[in-house]
Amino acid sequence: MDRLHYFVILTTFVMSTAVGLTAIFFFILYRRRSETQTTPHIEPAPLLEAAFVIIPLAFFLLWWVMGYRTAIGLATPPADAMDIYVQGKKWMWKFAYPGGPNSVNVLRVPSGRPVRLLMTSRDVIHSFYVPEFRVKQDVLPGRYSQVWFQAVEPGRFQILCAEYCGAGHSIMRGEVIVLKAEEYEDWVSAQHRGLATKQDGPPTALDFAPPLGNLVDQGRRLAQEQGCVKCHSVDGSQHIGPTWLDLYGRRERLSDGRIVNVDEGYITESMMDPFAKIVDGFKPVMPSFANKLAGPEVAAIVEYIKSLQSDAVRTGPSEGPAYAPVRGR
């Protein structure tokens, strides 16, 4: 793929420069010498016109053959690929390992082993993009798409969302952490024992803590730690703030008469900027949690709120959908 990359870029440069130079050369050679100059009538030889067609066509078809062969490779995961399920939603990435833990925004993979990601979206189209791996695939709602890669060396690589998905599009970022195979096994077993510790060195802006267990549990713990439940009940009784039971999906009337649908965006906004939309009948007393909560923590609380449904359909960790194994072998 890199060879193709450089081949294509090189031909592009050579061509543009050649055309530019020829134009300049002609300009110098055939300057207008008098205002009444006449010029001969020149018709190109048919052979020349044919060359104008055939030479670029040959190059372009060569590009296509090389490019398409590589592309088929990019679209065809090997049979022994390890499957990880990915769910994109505004504006985070959720990863689920078969029979293993879930994580938000941090994908851990072993090096030297092909990994297939099976991806779907909960809301709008996102696109899973890791520039360093040269992989990109749109993540569609209502459908599954796949992408595969094989990391060669341990390291950390940024995941970006490449399909425009709204206000948080540019901060819908995550990270692939490529571990050595044995470290990866250790991490998985630690996850299973629930004993994971931070293994990623000093925290950086990108260093989102991998959640323990599932998001809902984590959200429940956070809601207690942060004091949310002092004002918001989870059993339906009204307190200082609106109850969280059945909050998600509810239509709330605001103090200024507007109606909002309570969705992830609204919940997040209420945490970050509580005075933006005050529910009718409540006082604007909630403190802002901007800069107090990291992205995944917000996500965890949102997930927790979403799990609080009286018919309890949304509890439990996200499970990867049932897939057939990779076909063809």
Partner 1 sequence: MAENGEHHSALPYFLVWVALLILTVTTYVTGRMHLGTWALPLAMIIAVTKSLLVILFFMHLWEQKGANRIVIATSFVFVALIISLTVADVATRFPLSTPAGAPFGTDIPAELEETAPEYQPPAGKIGEPPRGVPQPK
Partner 2 sequence: MRQSEEDREKLGAPPAHDSYLTDGTTVMSWLNTRDHKRVGVMFLAAVVFFLFLGGVFALAIRMKLLYPGPFLFDALTYNRLFTLHGVTMIFLFMIPAIPSAFGNFVLPLMIGARDVAFPRLNLASFYVYLAGAVLAIWAMVHGGADTGWTFYTPYSTTTPTMLFPLLLGVFVLGFSSIMTGINFIVTVHTLRAPGVGWMRLPLFVWSIYATSIIQVLATPVLGLTVLLVALERVLQFGIFDPARGGDPVLFQHFFWFYSHPAVYIMVLPGMAVISECVATFSRKNPFGYKAIAFSSLGIAFVGFFTWGHHLFVAGQSVFDNGVFGVLSMFVGIFTAVKVFNWVGTMYRGAISFKTPFAYICGFLFFLVFGGMTGVALATVALDVHWHDTYFVVAHFHFIMVGAVIMAFLAALHYWFPKMFGRTYHEGWGLVAASLIILGFNATFIPQFLLGNNGMPRRYYQYPEHFQALNVASTAGATLLGFGFVIIFIYLLIALRWGPRCEQNPWRSKGFEWLTESPPPTHNFDRIPHITQDPHDYRTHAPSGVYADV
Q: Is 229 in the site for partner 2 (CB under 8 A)?
A: no
Half-sphere exposure of 105 toward its Cβ, with a 13 Å CA cutoff? 23
User: Which CB atom, from 30 or from 316, has the smaller least distance to partner 2?
Assistant: 30
Asked whether position 57 contacts partner 1 by CB under 8 A, the answer is no
Query: Does the protein bind partner 1 through residue 78 (CB under 8 A)?
Result: yes
Interaction with partner 1 in 204-263: which residues (CB under 8 A)?
206
If one asks whether residue 131 binds partner 2 (CB under 8 A), the answer comes out as: yes
Beta-bridge partner residues of 108: 177
Convert residues 50-69 into a mask of x (bound to partner 2 by CB under 8 A) and - (unbound): --xx--xx--xx-xx-xxxx
Q: Which two tokens stand for residue 79?
A: 């049979």
Distance CA 119, CA 135 (A): 13
Residue 161 interacts with partner 2 (CB under 8 A): yes or no: yes
234-239 LR contacts (CB < 8 Å, sep 24+): 234/308, 236/310
Which pair of structure tokens corresponds to residue 134? 């040269």
Q: Which of 124, 190, 231, 294 forms a contact with partner 2 (CB under 8 A)?
A: 124
The Cα 276–Cα 75 span in angstroms is 45
In the bound state with partner 2, the residue whose beta carbon lies nearer, of 195 and 259, is 259
- Of 100, 113, 135, 154, the one binding partner 2 (CB under 8 A) is 135
The answer to whether 157 and 176 are in contact (CB under 8 A) is: yes
Nearer to partner 2, 19 or 285 (CB): 19
Residues 152-171 that bind partner 1 (CB under 8 A): 152-153, 155-158
Nearer to partner 2, 74 or 293 (CB): 74
CB 124 within 8 A of CB 141: yes
